[in-house]
């Protein structure tokens, strides 16, 4: 027996140039009579089996097992999310190894850069076309688009730390993650849209009372939904799975805080006027496009180690282009009432309002240091254009750090992209990293420096409609009438 094993090993070593296969399927173990499992596993890991020795093996079973193994290993179209994530991890490892072999990972030195450039260009054109169409449809459709993007982002990030064997032992863990997600969505969107929902159903007394009642107890409803999820999590804890379950619990909450909450500021900007959503989002898109173009053609100096393909040439070129685009784009967008008027309800009709002073043209005399050959000495400028310069400065210098953060995050998990839903770009999360940072800044800037914080008639009416019952509103109306009559 030992002579047989020794002779078999010598055959494998002396016939490495021949076609051979590994003992990778334990079903072949039964065909080798007299060979122990330990010896079989030793050969399975480190040895090969020459085809000329196949006379002792059932040829049909051998061929079938070999073909099944090769089809499993060489499959290039993974079907499940976990398989796709593993495929991306393998491809990212190959890319990182390729970076070690190639001295320069810059796009300007990439031989296949034009092919990737065309794929990325086609995807970008399709995304821009869809984006323009949704913006034209109005506030409610833009909000729906943001919600769909958030769901896809959450799906990509949930799959990032998901493990198939553990999930099979925990059948309700996916549903629990989505329960927390939709509870957070109900809380955040309820806070943002409650006033506008009440304004929408004011004409119908039954719906109005129902909606105002739900708004009144909105926070309590969301809290008890969260408690249900919390109890669900505790009751499903299993021995030897605690670490994985608590890791999923923490990961879910990080997604809700870092991703969902930040991107929800976008919805608040939309209802203050599509302008305050469209301008910041467009500046990020412009910055991303021109950073790629300048880096593609002129990039020579690496910018940051987290993103080897980012260059100083791309960063500086994109920054200058973004700031100029912010000033010009604000002038163009600020002339359309459909984009500048705030929406006070959830209707989809055409919107018209008196122009805000920010969007009324004012004459601006050019400084004396402007060269004499410049054709204009005075020009009309919208006041909002000066605010747009601040947004452009942030979009070109600070917002890219959201992308650097995402790059470091992907390197920590050894993946190339968060997903593969957008050809040439990766996943939805790969395109939204800078947008989230920009949305928060745009909201804070809008509320701090632009929107008036003083009490207005519209705000008082919103509070009355939301917090007072119909009888209390009638009593308030009567008392106001008496006070006005006495004065």
Give, for all 487 residues of the chain, the pLDDT tens digit: 444 444 445 444 444 433 433 444 444 444 444 445 445 444 444 444 443 434 444 445 445 544 554 455 444 445 555 555 555 555 555 444 444 434 445 655 566 667 777 888 888 888 889 989 999 998 999 999 999 999 999 999 998 888 877 888 888 889 999 999 999 999 999 988 888 888 888 777 888 888 888 888 999 999 999 999 999 999 999 988 999 999 999 999 999 988 878 878 899 999 999 999 999 999 999 999 999 899 888 888 988 888 888 899 999 999 999 999 999 999 999 999 989 999 988 888 788 888 888 999 999 888 877 777 777 778 889 999 999 999 999 999 999 999 899 888 888 888 888 887 887 777 888 888 899 999 999 999 999 999 875 556 767 777 777 677 778 888 988 888 888 888 7
In terms of Cβ atoms closer than 10 Å to its own Cβ (0-12, 13-18, 19+), residue 226 is middle
State both tokens at 246. 């608590």
State both tokens at 478. 């009567």
Pairing of the two strands 378-381 and 362-365? antiparallel
Single pTM value for the model: 0.72
SS3 454: coil
Contact 325, 284 (CB under 8 A): no
**Helix axes of 312-333 and 274-298: crossing angle, nearest 10 degrees:** 150
What's the CA gap between 435 and 335, in Å, rounded? 24
What's the CA gap between 74 and 471, in Å, rounded? 72
Contact 27, 61 (CB under 8 A): yes
What's the CA gap between 226 and 430, in Å, rounded? 29
DSSP secondary structure string for all residues of 74-141: S--S--SHHHHHHHHHHHHHHHHHHHHHSS---GGG-TTHHHHHHHHHHHHHHHHHHHHHHHHH-HHH
State both tokens at 47. 């040895």
């Amino acid at each position: 027996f030992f002579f047989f094993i020794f002779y078999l090993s010598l055959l494998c070593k002396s016939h490495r140039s021949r076609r051979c296969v590994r003992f990778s399927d334990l079903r072949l173990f039964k065909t080798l009579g007299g060979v122990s499992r330990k010896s079989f596993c030793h050969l399975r890991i480190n040895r090969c089996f020459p085809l000329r020795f196949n006379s002792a093996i059932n040829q049909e079973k051998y061929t079938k097992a070999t073909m099944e193994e090769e089809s499993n290993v060489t499959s290039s179209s993974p079907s499940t999310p976990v398989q796709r994530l593993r495929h991306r991890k393998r491809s990212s490892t190959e890319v990182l190894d390729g970076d070690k072999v190639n001295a320069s990972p810059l796009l300007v030195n990439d031989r296949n850069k034009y092919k990737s450039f065309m794929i990325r260009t086609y995807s970008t054109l399709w995304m821009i076309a869809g984006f323009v169409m949704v913006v034209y449809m109005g506030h409610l459709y833009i909000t729906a688009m943001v919600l769909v993007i958030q769901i896809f982002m959450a799906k990509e990030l949930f799959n990032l730390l998901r493990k198939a064997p553990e999930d099979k032992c925990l059948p309700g863990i996916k549903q629990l993650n989505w329960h927390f997600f939709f509870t957070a969505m109900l809380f955040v969107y309820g806070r943002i849209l409650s006033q506008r929902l009440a304004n929408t159903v004011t004409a119908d007394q039954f719906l109005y009372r129902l909606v105002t009642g739900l708004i009144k107890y909105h926070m309590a409803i969301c809290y008890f939904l969260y408690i249900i999820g919390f109890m669900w999590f505790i009751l499903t804890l299993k021995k030897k799975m605690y670490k994985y379950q608590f890791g999923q619990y923490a990961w879910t909450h990080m997604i809700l805080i870092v991703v969902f909450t930040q991107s929800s500021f976008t919805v608040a900007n939309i209802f203050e006027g599509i302008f305050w959503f469209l301008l910041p989002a467009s500046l990020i898109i412009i910055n991303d496009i021109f950073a790629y173009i300048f880096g593609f053609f002129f990039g020579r100096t690496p910018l940051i180690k987290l993103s080897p393909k980012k260059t100083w040439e791309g960063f500086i070129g994109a920054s200058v282009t973004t700031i100029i685009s912010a000033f010009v784009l604000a002038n163009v967008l600020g002339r359309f009432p459909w984009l500048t008027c705030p929406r006070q309800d959830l209707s989809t009709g055409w919107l018209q309002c008196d122009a805000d002073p920010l969007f009324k043209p004012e004459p601006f005399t050019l400084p004396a240091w402007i060269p004499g050959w410049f054709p204009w000495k005075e020009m009309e400028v919208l006041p909002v254009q000066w605010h747009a310069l601040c947004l452009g400065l942030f979009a070109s210098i600070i917002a890219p750090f959201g992308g650097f953060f995402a790059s470091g995050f992907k390197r920590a998990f050894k993946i190339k992209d968060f997903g593969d839903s957008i050809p040439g770009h990766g996943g939805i999360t790969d395109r939204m990293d800078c947008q989230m940072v920009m949305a928060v800044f745009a909201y804070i800037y809008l509320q701090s420096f632009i929107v008036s914080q003083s009490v207005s008639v519209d705000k008082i009416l919103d509070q009355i409609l939301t917090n007072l019952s119909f009888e209390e509103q009638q009593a308030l109306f009567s008392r106001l009438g008496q006070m006005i009559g006495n004065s």
